[in-house]
Amino acid sequence: MYTSYFGLEEKPFSIAPNPDYLFMSDRHREALNHLTYGLGDTGGFVLLTGEVGTGKTTLSRHLMENLPENTQAAFILNPTLSSQELLATLCDELKIRYRKTGATLKTLTDKIQQKLLKNHSDDTNTLLIIDEAQHLQPEVLEQLRLLTNLETNTKKLLQVILIGQPELQQLLQRRDLRQLAQRITARYHLLPLNKQEVEQYLKHRLSVAKCFRNIFDKSAVNAIHKTCKGIPRLMNLLAERSLINAYNSNNAVVNRKIVLQAAYDALGDEFQVKPWWQNTWAKVGALVTTLSLVLAVGVWWGTYQAYNIGADAKVSRVAINQVDTIAEQEQLAVQEETAVVAEKSVQAGSDTSNDTSSGTNLPISAVDKTIQAKVIEANVENDLMATPLVKVAKNSTVITDDKDEAKNQDIASESRLADSKIIAPTTAERSEPKPKNVTGENFVVKAEAGVSDALLASFQSAIEQTKQSENARENVATDTSELLPLTQMPTWVQDGVPSLAFEMHLYASDGKGWIRVNGRDRYEGDYISRELLLNEILPQQVILSFRGEKFTMSALSSWN
């Protein structure tokens, strides 16, 4: 149909395992070398695995066509057989005559062994290739292992090549198949093709079909690689359908659009072409644009708010300056008024003194008493605010009851006047350095006039709680009983700690003890692994830390 349109002699992208179309990439060439190694004198088992459609069967067909003349091969495509059926199939492939009815495992095994000995005497190698070997039952694999027990001093008489999907590797990890796994002399896992090899693969297939021009352009090759992930069978399906679509649309070259439509036609709805706004890159671009807009709005709003706050603060400072100016003017007015009143009082006092005898003192007016009281009180308050309170003053007063507030205020005024020298520290006291931590000082609480019993009890309770907290911190610093064992630590700590085996434990009080862990001697402060630190060695346990988390482990224990 389309072969003549593109000048092809035959369909180049058939999914049949035709060895003529085998593309020998670096991976396929290396896999073939591993299979050829199984034909050597050592014998045993050879394992070839790979994902579905990577070309394992085509590679095995190529191997069968290029076998040496002195090799007799048996090829089994359907391994979903029992042990007896597999031996019967092997006899059929090796052309061994046996009785079809009543054949037992022993009969078939004896026939196969006789054939292997005869081939060895004729200098002929015997090869068994099993495709889709991941479907073999464990007992069938064990029967194959028993067949390979027939051997000479230098080689095994039966060589087996197992070809299968990655599940075959998991099957051979079973414990009951460990003997067979140890007899595998060569292993290889066939990987898909990379982007450069995809282009070479398409050209190789077209050249085998006698077409030497580029039918697939660069965008088509990229689309095929991205869609098929380098798997040859999927590339054959997609390339075949692309050629059909190009023929139907009268296009001499296959481009990306044709490949994407062919992917939907050949591979199903999973590869349906989506509008550009439904693509992942479009969604990511929309998300990034939205986040950028939100960030820009946030920055603008923050700048706007900062400007408003600065303007409000400037207005507030102006208002405060105006209030301070008004207060200063009012204070000056009061001072002037007070000075006028004082001057009038002095003049009145001098006039009165003329009418009295000398040596007689007249009482001070009410205004003078008020002025003196305010001045004294202001001086005392300034001294109290400027001087730090370093110790409880004698006869200090604390207001403890709302009912006695007026009484306590009078007592406080008298106490400030009487004990201002006690409250203010002397020059010697100011020059003495003050300790940074006063928690350990022994404070003594004494009853004083005007101080309630409840307040004294509160002071005493606070001092005792402070001492208890300090003692608790010192005890915690040296107490290791709060540390949890490794089995009670979080899961991320348990998963991160490597396997440990404590074989010897020597404790020394001077910190020079040592332990033997994982066959090596370790001392305090050594790193057992990259992030596992040995902090301390105790008589019956050790303290370890992993990424800052401390825990304990018993001496002579192990961790897996």
Distance CA 120, CA 158 (A): 10
Contact in structure between 374 and 403 (CB atoms under 8 Å) = no
The residue out of 273, 304, 327 marking a domain boundary is 273
Do 311 and 295 have their domain in common? Answer: yes
The residue out of 324, 339, 354 marking a domain boundary is 339
Query: Which pLDDT score, from 0 to 100, does residue 421 have?
Result: 37
Q: What is the 3-state secondary structure (H, E, C) of 443-469?
A: CCCCCCCCCCHHHHHHHHHHHHHHHHH
Query: Which pLDDT score, from 0 to 100, does residue 551 have?
Result: 93
Do 268 and 291 have their domain in common? Answer: no
Distance CA 497, CA 491 (A): 10
pTM score: 0.50
Do 241 and 266 have their domain in common? Answer: yes
Query: Which pLDDT score, from 0 to 100, does residue 453 have?
Result: 78
Q: Is the dihedral of CA 128, 131, 133, 136 positive or negative?
A: negative
The total number of structural domains that make up the chain: 5
Specify the DSSP class assigned to residue 73.
E
49 bridge partner residues: 164, 189
Specify the DSSP class assigned to residue 527.
B
The reply to whether 477 falls in a domain is: no
Phi/psi of residue 521, each to 5°? Answer: -80, 135
Q: Is 478 helix (H, G, I), strand (E, B) or coil?
A: helix
The reply to whether 228 falls in a domain is: yes
Q: Is 548 helix (H, G, I), strand (E, B) or coil?
A: coil
DSSP characters for 187-214? EEEEPPP-HHHHHHHHHHHHHHTT--S-
Which residue, among 63, 65, 69, has the nearest Cα to 48 in the 3D structure?
A: 63
Structure tokens at 559: 């961790």
Do 268 and 281 have their domain in common? Answer: no
The residue out of 321, 339, 357 marking a domain boundary is 339
Do 48 and 154 have their domain in common? Answer: yes
Q: Is 418 helix (H, G, I), strand (E, B) or coil?
A: helix
Query: Which pLDDT score, from 0 to 100, does residue 426 have?
Result: 43
The reply to whether 262 falls in a domain is: yes
Query: Taking phi first (over 0 means left), then psi (-120 to 50 degrees means alpha), and beta for anything else, what does residue 128 get?
Result: beta
User: How far from 242 is each of 206, 255, 543, CA to CA, in Å?
Assistant: 14, 9, 67
Which residue, among 271, 213, 265, 202, has the nearest Cα to 239 in the 3D structure?
A: 202
Query: Which pLDDT score, from 0 to 100, does residue 403 have?
Result: 42
Do 134 and 213 have their domain in common? Answer: no
Output the domain CATH number for residue 223. 1.10.8.60
Instruction: Tell me how far apart the terminal alpha carbons of the chain are, to the nearest angstrom.
Output: 65
- Neighbour tally for 206: CB within 10 Å: 22
Close Cβ partners of 544 (under 8 Å, ≥ 6 residues apart): 486, 497, 528, 532, 533, 534, 535, 550, 551, 552, 553
The reply to whether 441 falls in a domain is: no
Do 34 and 175 have their domain in common? Answer: yes
Contact in structure between 498 and 529 (CB atoms under 8 Å) = yes
Do 167 and 203 have their domain in common? Answer: no
Distance CA 553, CA 502 (A): 9
Which residue, among 103, 102, 104, 126, has the nearest Cα to 114 in the 3D structure?
A: 126
- Neighbour tally for 423: CB within 10 Å: 20
pLDDT in tens, 237-275: 999 999 999 999 999 999 999 999 999 888 876 665 555
Distance CA 459, CA 272 (A): 80
Query: Which pLDDT score, from 0 to 100, does residue 56 have?
Result: 93
Output the domain CATH number for residue 41. 3.40.50.300
Residue type, 471: N
The reply to whether 76 falls in a domain is: yes
Do 315 and 418 have their domain in common? Answer: no
- Neighbour tally for 365: CB within 10 Å: 16
Distance CA 256, CA 286 (A): 25
44-50 and 159-164 as β-strands: parallel, antiparallel, unpaired? parallel
The residue written with tokens 């369909």 in the block is 11
Structure tokens at 479: 């107490």
Structure tokens at 53: 């459609």
Do 64 and 160 have their domain in common? Answer: yes
Which residue, among 262, 269, 279, 264, has the nearest Cα to 220 in the 3D structure?
A: 262
Query: Which pLDDT score, from 0 to 100, does residue 419 have?
Result: 42
The reply to whether 12 falls in a domain is: no
Distance CA 207, CA 156 (A): 42
Structure tokens at 348: 């009145």
Do 45 and 182 have their domain in common? Answer: yes
Query: Which pLDDT score, from 0 to 100, does residue 295 have?
Result: 92
Do 179 and 81 have their domain in common? Answer: yes
Low pLDDT (below 70) residues in the chain: 38, 40-43, 269-278, 311-319, 322-323, 340-445, 465-481
3-state helix vs strand vs coil in the chain, percent to 5: 55, 15, 35
- Name the residue range of residue 93's domain: 26-190
Q: Is 91 helix (H, G, I), strand (E, B) or coil?
A: helix
The reply to whether 293 falls in a domain is: yes
Query: Which pLDDT score, from 0 to 100, does residue 102 have?
Result: 81
The reply to whether 444 falls in a domain is: no
Query: Which pLDDT score, from 0 to 100, does residue 348 have?
Result: 56
**C-alpha R_g of the chain:** 50
